[in-house]
Amino acid sequence: MKLTPWIVASRTFVGLGLVLTACGGSGSGDGTATEGATTGTDTGTASNPSTSVTQGTTTDSASGPSTTMTTGADTSTTSDTATGSTGSSSSGADESSSSSGGDTGPVVPPCPYEPVAGPSGWALEMVAEDVEEPMFALGHPEEPDRLFVLERAGTIEMIEPGTTTPVVPSILEIEGVENGGESGLFGLAFHPDFPDDPRIYVNYTALPDGRTRINEYTLDPMNNWVGDPDSERLILDIWQPEYNHNGGGIAFDTTGNLLIGMGDGGTQSTSRVTGILLAKFLRIGVDPDGIEDNPEACEGCPQFGPFDYTIPADNPFVGDPDYAPEIFALGFRNPFRWSIDVGTGDIWVGDVGQNAWEEVDLIEAGRDYGWNSMEGFHCYNGDCEPVDPNQTNGDGLTMPLVEISHGGGDCAVVGGAVYRSCQVPEWDGTYLFSDYCNAEVRGLRYDGDNLEELGVLIDPNNGLVGNGWNNWGDVYFTGGSTFNGRVWRVVPVE
């Protein structure tokens, strides 16, 4: 099967209605597309030029106005050194009930692609267009090439297999989404038993005050997956003290519990406080257990409970009065885009930095990823002890896998996903990521012991602001212009 990827070769960001930058950085501009794919061996700092392998003709262009969206990278401390991948058990137990989820799970059809051996490069193929400010793309669990795309203003669009434009009507229009600055509809997750249980979950910033809201809705499989607005069930509201560093992603782990990535709320004062929800990864069961939940977003913040969800009994800090029981991991500034490896269940996080360093983390239960004591491998607030990638220092802070300097044009990491597609078997296990100001797609591999940084793999001229994946292990990036946003799939150049 011969693919004609849509590729561009410039670092210019074309306005998607927001600018994802770390404090002290920005990015905007216009660009025209030239097709090609790049390979490289630099260390992920995006400071070295790459070589281009060109295929096809110039096909893709986008332009549009942009506004500023800021992201950040605070981390919090803890002395707990629990380890384990998604859903791993740790110390502590109380009367909390657990949520297993995923009793049946989706039946995933075989990967449809003809394997490509020894491709000459990496490329992006446009798989969706005419979507407005797309922030995230997720494949239907049992039809992986049926894409659900989040538009920032609050609409969920669906792209049917073999097409590139949204179906009419839209799948769901979510009311009350705050859209501006760093606000919008950013996260989507299918229930672990979808489609037998046709519930979905979304993460967005809500009017009138910009709080983070996690809601549940039900889709209708007999009506082309159109959602029922009246099926809305509030799972959780979390106060945001400022307009930025809202996080935004959600996903179910391998045990059927929901992970929620939270930034520091735009104030570093939350980053080292362990009894609150901001600057943390949270893990909850979505089904009610009849026990009131009254979490504290930050010290002195408005509270919105009680809620009724489940605290998994194996959360790492359950039973510790100094920690919120919802916490899975801590020490994050703004984990805006992150993903779960469909092959292993590992959690890969792009955490947006402050003024100098972006970072990619591989997170585990109970670990502290350092903000605001550290930014990347560097001391940010006082003395610190940098150690090797993904290792924990004497203060209980776990290092990132890689850091990316702002010196090469980066400003806000866009966490991607791990490639597991059958299309290029030799790419299996490669983590791909980009940046809001420098859209070069970079890659790395990590087997638990050895870290290999692959450098720049694709050099597009479209700004990339979002990510996505499906159960075949395809990796998506989203971006383009405000009124002609697009979704691209990572493909080989043959």
User: pLDDT in tens for each of the 494 residues of the chain?
Assistant: 333 333 333 333 334 445 455 553 333 333 333 333 333 333 333 333 233 333 332 333 333 333 333 333 333 333 333 334 443 333 333 333 334 344 568 999 999 999 999 999 999 999 999 999 999 999 999 999 999 999 999 999 999 999 999 999 999 999 999 998 899 999 999 999 999 999 999 999 999 999 999 999 999 999 999 999 999 999 999 999 999 999 999 999 999 999 999 999 999 999 999 999 999 999 999 999 999 999 999 999 999 999 999 999 999 999 999 999 999 999 999 999 999 999 999 999 999 999 999 999 999 999 999 999 999 999 999 999 999 999 999 999 999 999 999 999 999 999 999 999 999 999 999 999 999 999 999 999 999 999 999 999 999 978 999 999 999 999 999 998 778 899 999 999 99
Helices (H) and strands (E) in the chain, counts: 0, 32
Q: What is the pLDDT of residue 103?
A: 56
Distances (CA, A) of 252 to 61, 325, 356: 35, 18, 32
Distances (CA, A) of 5 to 49, 318, 482: 21, 48, 22
Given a contact cutoff of 8 angstroms between Cβ atoms, the answer to whether 326 and 318 are in contact is no
Q: Rounded CA gap, 44 and 435, in Å?
A: 11
CB contact set of 124 (below 8 Å; sequence gap of 6+)? 5, 6, 7, 441, 458, 460, 477, 488, 489, 490, 491
Distances (CA, A) of 23 to 45, 243, 262: 18, 13, 17
Q: What is the pLDDT of residue 165?
A: 98
Q: What is the pLDDT of residue 181?
A: 85
Q: Rounded CA gap, 30 and 63, in Å?
A: 5
Find the length of the chain. Answer: 494
Q: Rounded CA gap, 371 and 354, in Å?
A: 10
Q: What is the pLDDT of residue 105?
A: 81
The predicted model scores a pTM of: 0.83
Domains of the chain: 71-113+128-418+467-493 (2.120.10.30)
How far from each other are the two terminal CA atoms of the chain, in whole angstroms?
10
Q: Rounded CA gap, 473 and 419, in Å?
A: 6
List the one residue out of 101, 106, 447, 451 whose CA is nearest residue 285: 101
Given a contact cutoff of 8 angstroms between Cβ atoms, the answer to whether 159 and 127 are in contact is yes
